[in-house]
Amino acid sequence: MSATIPESIRELAAGYALGALTPEEARAFETALAQSPELQREVAEYREVNALLAAGRGGQAPSPEVKERLLARVAASKAAALPPPARRTFPWMATALAATTVLAIGLGGRARQLERDLTEKNAALASTAAKLAKREETLNTLLTAEADLSVVQLTTSGAQAPGMQFFWNRRQNRGVLHAFRLPPAGPGKTYQLWLIPKDGKPVPSVVFNSAADGHALVEAFQLQVEGGFQTAAVTIEPEGGSSTPTMPIVLIGQVSGL
Amino acid sequence: MLVTSIAIEMPLSVTALRPNAAPTAGAADDDRALISRITAGDERALGVLYDRYAATMYAVAFRISGERADAEEIVLETFSQAWRNAGRFHGEKGSAVAWLTMMCRSRALDLIRSRGRRAKLVETAQQAEPTGAPAMGTGPENPTDRVAGSERAAKVAAALESLSPPQRQAIELAYYEGLSHSEIAERLDEPLGTVKTRVRLAMQKLREALTPYYFEAAT
């Protein structure tokens, strides 16, 4: 079998398993894949490697609410799929019922699948709606400030150094953060924002982390500092945040125009 | 001024692996049985599968998305998809965890790609960038940061360390950022052919080193 697989196709197996091929390459590879048990085995092995790379990472579990939501979602889909209560039937209907039973079983399975899909989609829609509402809140935080909006640029040094913009609605004392080129804080770690008033004592604020692409967005959040602040800084802290900052400071910026 | 020093913690590379509660290879048959029960509509089996692999999926989702809430949503959607599509799982073609990982990565990468589109919208607001000293890069790993755990996790870490730094970097960009060969080449300013070879050789090396540690033998 191996003699029938062009080397140029075989060389794509690893990239295919990683999802690193162009659409054209993927199509060409899948054509060969469908006809080659050897290629199928090779791709399966690369997928096992992917799984091992996943299993080798940190083992912190998601919060218990995730499992609760999963099981609630599943229970809802099962409840939706339950057949209606049995009704009284008449003898002459028995033959007709028997004749349609096989069809009904098949249709019932399909109906349960559709209802399950519908429940899932409703849940996804609710999740999207919640995200949209949060996004609107963020937008309002920026737009309703009018003249009372300060933008703090938090920086460090370096040509490709990370940075962060901190939008502060002084009227509502609410903020929005947007970081860029900021590497993820690492396992068990998080970034934390500190607000430093005139007296110089840092007040802990939100904790956040960045995505693999270096971006982080913290949508509208309330600032827990009265009387404003002059400096904003970011440090790396243990997950959950700290009450006092851990040196060194990663990013820092001054509020201008106050 | 509060600043006492400025330093940026380097991004975790794939070499910074930590062991977790991944199940033993003997769990493979058990996984198949669980998925059969899930196909039959047994939500308790889904709960067991979740307990077994949620931490692994969460770790990958968090590493890719970078946000706890997003990672949890990805885990939820991954296991919801497993519930819906259990009937399409082919145990003879690979392990359950490979199947779950594929779905989890796909969802997480879709999320960061959609974020990438969003990020472009605010790029114009990022002009006030600092200039000066320490640039970001891929710093060295702290070996003491790695804790020896399960044999599998240790072997994965060893296999990754056996890769050359450029090979590891290419794998990391493909695995965690979902970049294509050509995107990696562009990012690293390397010839496309070089990148393709690098990815292929790295994956071959990992496959050879890790075959005994698969969750179950791929057939």
Q: How many domains does chain B contain in total?
A: 2
* More confident: B169 or A120: B169
Q: Which ipTM did the prediction report?
A: 0.72
Is the domain of B104 the same as that of B199? no
Is the domain of B157 the same as that of B102? no
Q: How far is A8 from chain B (nearest CA, A)?
A: 11
Is the domain of A182 the same as that of A196? yes
Residues in chain A closer than 8 A to B116 (CB atoms): 213
Is the domain of B119 the same as that of B208? no
- Is residue B6 included in any domain, yes or no? no
Predicted structure pTM score: 0.54
Please say which residue of B64, B89, B123 terminates a domain. B123
Please say which residue of B88, B123, B158 terminates a domain. B123
User: Three-state SS for B28?
Assistant: helix
Query: A59 and B204: CB-CB below 8 Å?
Result: no
Domain that holds residue A137: 97-143
Is the domain of B118 the same as that of B31? yes
Q: What is the pLDDT of residues B77-112, one digit of tens each?
A: 999 999 999 998 988 778 999 999 999 999 999 888
Residue A122 has pLDDT above 90, yes or no: no
**Residue environment code for B77-94, b if the CB has 16+ CB neighbours within 10 A, otherwise e:** bbbbbbbbebeebebeeb
Q: What is the pLDDT of residues A6-20, one digit of tens each?
A: 888 889 999 999 999
The pLDDT value recorded for residue A247 is: 87
Nearest by CB to A14, from B71, B156, B200: name it: B200
Nearest by CB to A20, from B59, B102, B180: name it: B180
Phi, psi angle pair for A221, to nearest 5°: -140, 155
Give the N- to C-terminal CA distance of chain A in Å, as an integer: 75
Count of CB atoms situated within 10 Å of the CB of A14:
26
| DSSP result, A172-209 | TTEEEEEEES-----TTEEEEEEEE-TT---EEEEEE-
When mean pLDDT is compared across A137-146, A235-244, B210-219, the lowest value belongs to B210-219
pLDDT confidence band for B25 (50 / 70 / 90): very low
Q: What is the pLDDT of residues B132-162, one digit of tens each?
A: 222 222 222 333 333 333 677 788 888 999 9
Tell me, yes or no, if A152 comes closer than 8 A to chain B by beta carbon.
no
Query: B65 and A211: CB-CB below 8 Å?
Result: yes
Query: B134 and A236: CB-CB below 8 Å?
Result: no
Please say which residue of B92, B123, B154 terminates a domain. B123
Rounded CA separation B58/B104 (Å): 9
Rounded CA separation A73/A70 (Å): 5
Tell me, yes or no, if A188 comes closer than 8 A to chain B by beta carbon.
no
Domain that holds residue B92: 18-123
Is the domain of A134 the same as that of A157? no
And the tokens for A180? 């860029």
Query: A160 and B80: CB-CB below 8 Å?
Result: no
Residues in chain B closer than 8 A to A210 (CB atoms): 66
Nearest by CB to B59, from A54, A155, A163: name it: A54
- Is residue B188 included in any domain, yes or no? yes
Radius of gyration of chain A (CA): 28
When mean pLDDT is compared across A253-257, B72-76, B177-181, B183-187, the lowest value belongs to A253-257
What residue of A is the nearest CA neighbor of B202?
A14
- Is residue A222 included in any domain, yes or no? yes
User: Three-state SS for A253?
Assistant: strand
- Is residue B138 included in any domain, yes or no? no
Report A:31-90 residues touching B (Cβ under 8 A): 40-41, 44-63, 65-67, 69-71, 73-75, 77-78
- Is residue A64 included in any domain, yes or no? no
Is the domain of B116 the same as that of B174? no
Q: What is the CATH number of the domain that holds B151?
A: 1.10.10.10
Is the domain of A121 the same as that of A193? no
pLDDT confidence band for A96 (50 / 70 / 90): low
- Is residue B23 included in any domain, yes or no? yes
Is the domain of A129 the same as that of A103? yes
- Is residue B140 included in any domain, yes or no? no
Is the domain of B112 the same as that of B28? yes
Is the domain of A154 the same as that of A132? no
Is the domain of A235 the same as that of A156? yes
The pLDDT value recorded for residue A83 is: 58
- Is residue B187 included in any domain, yes or no? yes
Residues in chain A closer than 8 A to B171 (CB atoms): 18
Tell me, yes or no, if A231 comes closer than 8 A to chain B by beta carbon.
yes
Residues in chain A closer than 8 A to B152 (CB atoms): 52, 55-56
- Is residue B219 included in any domain, yes or no? no
